[in-house]
């Protein structure tokens, strides 16, 4: 009893910790054993062959380059946009507009950009219309090109809103008085950036860099749809090896993922050590100071840029979904019809099943996320203890280590446990790319509310569950809302993990989208794309209704 | 044991450093006790231990002869009030005040009725549907007090409740609060680092240093017979000459030296005019002691003066 009282935080953290350690640990060990064919005659031959062959090395370097460029460009653009439009972005509607791309899975957004930038896309068509270009072949090849421009474009377009999302709270916390101090001491705006913003912004940027880089380097979906046949990104190569007809290539797939894991861990470790002494979490204000915002130069212009980059692909995909015929070189579609929607919703019985399966998985993923995430977030927010940074790192590993490597490793274990080929198993692996975000978001929520409210409530006679329900849950709602969106979208975006653990028996929307994408029937694909954004909104509304029922009523 | 709250051998350590060590402390029913001392001397820790928010490493606490060992903070007849009002930001004032009753599952009609009455008592009626961010600092403290009093605590623990208010509001709030607490006959422990506040609020005052209670007495006794040099210098009460304590109230500034009596040279370090009197803060030349005196004479900072005991001056005056 006494131990329990004194070590409350370990109890809060253990569910999430045990889950993460089991899944990540087991996954990596099993993947390693498979890669050295430990179950036949163990050897490192596979590694030697991989490292000697050109295919793997090219693919690895290609992946690293694309990831590096995508991440750096996203972070720079994101930082510039937040700095130049911050006062506008604080308001609700501008914020929603900036974040809208996040509602679409990466590959769906990739398709939307494909509609804009491909050789037969809208921009090419427009150039033809105004007479600058006679034929579509003159338009530069941006998609399925060997340089991966389309892939980088998609990632940047999608990650910039993510960077904005991460940086906004930092800029909201920056104290105005420190800026003014620098000005009165004779500093210029560069000095303000360097001495006031940098100490708070850079640590966050490092972390954002890790997260985006490790995601892009190992993500499968976007390069699979928009990449060239050569060179292939490492994840696509792994997929081919793993699911290909040649069974002897399977150990190569495992070895490739183990090497990629080592590579990312190595890079993250190097960057982490280099930036370590600057990664102190600093809190400047208690959030109570209401800073009046001075309008920035060109802030409207920059915001217009954000709005265009959100609405252009959105409008185009919407129009395309209602198009029957759209000749190249025409400004507007020639025939409008709802055929795309009709084919999708009426003539594809598979789709209805896929929507239901996807939503079921999303909801299960959400529930487990909240059950594991809420106590863990509270433990991290309210307690200081030995080994805290280690535990934080462990809880973050699922998004730093390629989820594909882990999933391939636990695949056999899941088969034995009867979790494979079933939607519950799929939901479990979907926790890998979502749980770290849930914990991060909820932790920030708890830190904002503070521990003292709990002590007041205890002193006034409240018991833990009642305090959670009437004091913390209502105040955590903003955090829960954003994580509902994030978790749902991430779960909907998983093709590789779902295909692997679902083994063809679990048909989610992502699984169905890939074959559709190859049909080239644009109005159907466009309708399907929009459907992807509708699901998170539906789930969000469902969650909202449920919480309205749980939460104590505010009316008297 | 006749006392209402009884503490025995309470100790508490953080990282092997003692932060609190109280051999014994008894408080009577209905008494307001001020706890004062420099910051970081375990004052808040004492309150947190009494509230059950922290456990002492050793020792026992009795409230009305009942041991508090093993009693959860929820079930203790004690309410803790923080520095900031810490009203729940997502509830309006009525809900905030009714919170403790809600935790005790008092039905809605009853708890809102009781809360309205309580809000009337603390003088914030009419603000029921306001949210904490819409009201002033003084109103927030009143609401927080109402929220604490509504559960009828036997003991109220106040942790620097006025520190976020500005000077005038502080004084007004503390006068009002003392009257209310006396009317309610609640036993109160009040932590502050402000000496004037401690003296004004407390029936008795406990002076803390490094987790140890230096002295616990009524204000007059503290000034007239401080237990040790720390207390006297903390209060600016006077200074020690060997074993003899010389209260500053007995000192006066004289112009010429009378050799038959003790005198001390001192330097003026601050002067201020308050309550129609001229106050001088002086520093004795041979030791670092600061003493505050009132004087008719106008002096400047940096002036050297001579201090003598009043009796001595009077005697001398009598001879002439």
- What digits encode the pLDDT tens for the residues A486-531? 999 999 999 999 999 998 899 999 999 998 888 878 899 999 999 9
Residues spanned by the domain of A207? 8-34+53-283+293-550
Question: Among A466, A474, A556, whose Cβ lies nearest the Cβ of B103?
Answer: A466
Q: What distance in Å separates the CA atoms of residue A320 and residue B277, rounded to the nearest whole number?
A: 86
Q: What is the pLDDT of residue A40?
A: 74
Q: At what angle do helices A473-492 and A349-382 cross, to 10 degrees?
A: 140
User: How does residue B83 score in pLDDT terms, banded at 50, 70 and 90?
Assistant: confident
Mean pLDDT of chain A: 88
Of B73, B80, B86, the CB nearest to A453: B86
Residue B35, in any domain of the structure: yes
Q: Do B103 and A460 touch (CB under 8 A)?
A: yes
Q: Using the beta-carbon criterion (under 8 Å), do A475 and B90 form an inter-chain contact?
A: yes
B155/chain A closest Cα distance in angstroms: 11
Q: What DSSP letter does each residue of A459-510 carry, written as one string?
A: HTT--HHHHIIIIIHHHHHHHHHHHHHHHHHHHHT-SHHHHHHHTTT---HH
CA of residue B203 relative to chain centroid, distance: 10
What CATH number should be reported for the domain holding residue B128? 3.40.50.300
Q: Are B19 and B52 in contact (CB under 8 A)?
A: no
Q: Is A475 on the interface with B (CB under 8 A)?
A: yes
End residue of a domain, out of B167, B202, B224: B224
**A43 lies in a domain?**
no
Residue B262 lies in a domain: yes
* Domain assignment of residue B111, given as a range: 5-224
Same structural domain, B194 and B259: no
A456: confidence class by pLDDT, cuts 50, 70, 90: very high
- Do B145 and B209 fall within a single domain? yes
Indicate if B69 and B212 belong to the same structural domain.
yes
- Is the residue at B231 inside a domain? no
Q: Does A459 contact B78 at a Cβ distance shorter than 8 Å? A: yes
Residues B210 and B281 in one domain: no
- Largest Cα separation within chain B, whole Å, is 80
Residue B6: strand pairing partners: B26, B62
- The phi, psi pair for A258, rounded to 5°, reads -65, -45
Q: Indicate the residue among B170, B196, B224 that finishes a domain.
A: B224
The answer to whether residues B99 and B152 belong to one domain is yes
Residues A423-433: tens digit of each pLDDT: 999 999 999 99
Q: CA–CA separation, A258 vs A274, rounded Å? A: 24
* Same structural domain, B220 and B246: no
Q: How far apart are CA B54 and CA B56, in angstroms?
A: 7
Could you tell me which chain B residue has the CA closest to the CA of A460? Answer: B100
Enter the pTM of the model. Answer: 0.86
CB of A55 within 8 Å of a chain B CB? The answer is: no
Task: Inform me whether the C-beta atom of residue A455 falls under 8 Å from chain B C-beta atoms.
Answer: yes
B258 in the same domain as B176: no
Cα gap B97→A185, rounded to integer Å: 47
Closest residue to A460, CB basis, from B55, B79, B94 = B79
With respect to residue B71, please indicate whether it lies within any of the assigned structural domains: yes
Q: Lowest mean pLDDT: which of A190-194, A316-320, A465-469, B149-153?
A: A190-194
* CATH number of the domain encompassing residue B261: 2.40.50.140
Q: Are residues B70 and B204 in the same domain?
A: yes
Instruction: Tell me the average pLDDT across A133-149.
Output: 87
Is it the case that residue A319 has pLDDT exceeding 80?
Answer: yes
Average pLDDT, integer, range B270-283: 84
Say what the pLDDT of residue A552 is: 66
State how far the Cα of A426 lies from the Cα of A416, in Å rounded to an integer.
Answer: 15
Residue of A nearest to B95 (CA): A554
How many domains is chain A partitioned into structurally?
1
* Stretch (H or E) spanning B183: helix B167-184
Q: Is pLDDT above 90 for A436?
A: yes
Six-digit token pair at B144?
A: 């927080």
**Is B232 a domain residue?**
no
User: Is the pLDDT at A99 greater than 50, yes or no?
Assistant: yes
Q: Do A460 and B148 touch (CB under 8 A)?
A: yes
Q: How far is B117 from chain A (nearest CA, A)?
A: 17
Is residue B6 less than 8 Å (CB to CB) from chain A? no
Q: Closest CB to B82: pick one of A456, A471, A554.
A: A456
Is residue A41 assigned to a domain?
no
H helix runs in B74-163, sequence order: 93-103, 108-121, 137-149
- Tell whether A290 is within 8 A of chain B (Cβ): no
Cβ within 8 Å of residue B100, ≥6 positions away: A460, A461, A462, B79, B147, B148, B150, B151
């Amino acid at each position: 009893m006494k131990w329990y009282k004194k070590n409350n935080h370990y109890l809060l953290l253990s569910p999430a910790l045990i889950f993460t350690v089991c899944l990540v640990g087991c996954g990596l060990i099993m993947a390693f054993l498979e890669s050295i064919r430990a179950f036949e005659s163990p050897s490192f031959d596979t590694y030697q062959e991989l490292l000697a062959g050109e295919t793997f090395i090219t693919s690895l370097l290609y992946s690293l380059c694309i990831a590096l460029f995508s991440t750096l460009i996203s972070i720079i653009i994101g930082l510039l946009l937040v700095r130049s439009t911050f006062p506008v972005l604080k308001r609700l509607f501008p914020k929603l507009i900036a974040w809208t791309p996040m509602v679409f899975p990466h590959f769906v957004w990739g398709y939307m950009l494909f509609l804009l930038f491909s050789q037969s896309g809208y921009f090419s068509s427009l150039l033809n219309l105004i007479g600058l270009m006679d034929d579509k072949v003159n338009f530069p090849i941006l998609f399925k090109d060997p340089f991966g421009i389309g892939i980088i474009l998609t990632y940047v377009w999608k990650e910039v809103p993510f960077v904005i999302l991460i940086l906004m709270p930092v800029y909201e916390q920056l104290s105005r008085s420190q800026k003014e101090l620098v000005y009165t001491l004779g500093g210029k705006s560069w000095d303000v950036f360097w001495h006031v913003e940098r100490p708070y912004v850079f640590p966050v940027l490092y972390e954002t860099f890790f997260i985006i880089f490790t995601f892009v380097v190992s993500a499968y979906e976007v390069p699979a749809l928009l990449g060239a046949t050569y060179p292939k990104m490492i994840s696509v190569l792994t997929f081919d090896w793993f699911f290909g007809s040649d069974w002897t290539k399977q150990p190569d797939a495992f070895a490739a993922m183990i090497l990629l894991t080592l590579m990312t861990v190595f890079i993250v470790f190097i960057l982490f050590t280099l930036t370590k002494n600057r990664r102190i979490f600093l809190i400047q204000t208690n959030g109570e100071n209401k800073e009046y915002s001075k309008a920035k130069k060109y802030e409207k212009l920059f915001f217009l840029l954000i709005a265009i980059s959100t609405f252009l692909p959105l409008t185009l995909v919407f129009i395309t979904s209602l198009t029957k015929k759209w000749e190249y070189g025409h400004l507007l579609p020639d025939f409008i019809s709802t055929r795309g929607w009709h084919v999708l919703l009426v003539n594809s019985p598979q789709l209805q099943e896929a929507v239901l399966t996807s939503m079921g998985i999303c909801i299960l993923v959400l529930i487990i996320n909240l059950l594991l995430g809420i106590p863990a977030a509270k433990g991290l927010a309210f307690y200081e203890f030995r080994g805290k940074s280690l535990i934080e790192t462990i809880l973050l590993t699922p998004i730093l280590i390629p989820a594909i490597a882990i999933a391939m490793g636990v695949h056999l274990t899941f088969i034995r446990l009867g979790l494979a080929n079933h939607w519950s198993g799929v939901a479990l692996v979907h926790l890998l790319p979502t749980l770290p975000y849930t914990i991060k978001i909820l932790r920030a929520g708890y830190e904002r509310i503070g521990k003292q409210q709990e002590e007041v409530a205890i002193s006034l006679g409240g018991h833990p569950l009642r305090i959670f329900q009437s004091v913390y849950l209502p105040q955590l709602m903003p955090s829960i809302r954003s994580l509902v969106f994030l978790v749902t979208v991430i779960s909907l975006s998983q093709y590789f993990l779902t295909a692997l653990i679902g083994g063809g028996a679990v048909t989610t929307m992502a699984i169905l989208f890939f074959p559709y994408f190859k049909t080239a029937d644009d109005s159907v694909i466009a309708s399907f794309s929009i459907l992807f954004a509708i699901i998170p909104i539906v789930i969000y509304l469902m969650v909202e209704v449920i919480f309205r029922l749980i939460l104590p009523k505010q009316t008297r | 044991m006749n006392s209402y709250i009884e503490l025995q051998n309470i100790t508490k350590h953080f990282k092997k450093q003692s932060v609190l060590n109280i051999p014994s402390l008894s408080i009577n029913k209905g008494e307001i006790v001020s706890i004062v001392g420099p910051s970081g001397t375990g004052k808040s820790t004492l309150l947190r231990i009494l509230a059950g928010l922290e456990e002492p490493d050793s020792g026992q606490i009795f409230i009305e002869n009942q041991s508090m060992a093993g009693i959860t903070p929820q079930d203790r007849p004690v309410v803790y009030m923080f520095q900031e009002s810490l009203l729940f930001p997502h509830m309006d004032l009525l809900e905030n005040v009714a919170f403790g009753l809600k935790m005790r599952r008092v039905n809605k009609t009853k708890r809102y009725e009781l809360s309205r009455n309580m809000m009337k008592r603390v003088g914030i009626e009419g603000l029921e549907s306001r949210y904490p961010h819409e009201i002033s600092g003084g109103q927030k403290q009143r609401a927080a007090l109402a929220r604490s009093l509504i559960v009828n605590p036997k003991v109220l623990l106040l942790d620097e409740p006025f520190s976020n208010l500005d000077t005038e509001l502080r004084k007004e709030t503390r006068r009002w609060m003392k009257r209310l607490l006396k009317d309610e006959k609640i036993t109160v422990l009040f932590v502050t680092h402000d000496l004037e506040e401690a003296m004004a609020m407390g029936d008795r005052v406990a002076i803390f240093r490094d987790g140890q209670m230096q002295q616990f007495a009524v204000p007059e006794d503290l000034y007239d017979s401080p237990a040790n040099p720390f207390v006297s210098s903390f209060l600016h009460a006077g200074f020690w000459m060997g074993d003899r304590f010389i209260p500053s109230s007995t000192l006066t500034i004289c112009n010429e030296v009378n050799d038959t009596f003790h005198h001390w040279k001192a330097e003026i370090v601050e002067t201020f005019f308050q309550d129609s009197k001229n106050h001088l803060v002086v520093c004795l030349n041979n030791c670092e002691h600061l003493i505050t005196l009132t004087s008719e004479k106008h002096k400047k900072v940096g002036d050297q003066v001579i201090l003598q005991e009043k009796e001595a001056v009077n005697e001398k005056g009598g001879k002439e």
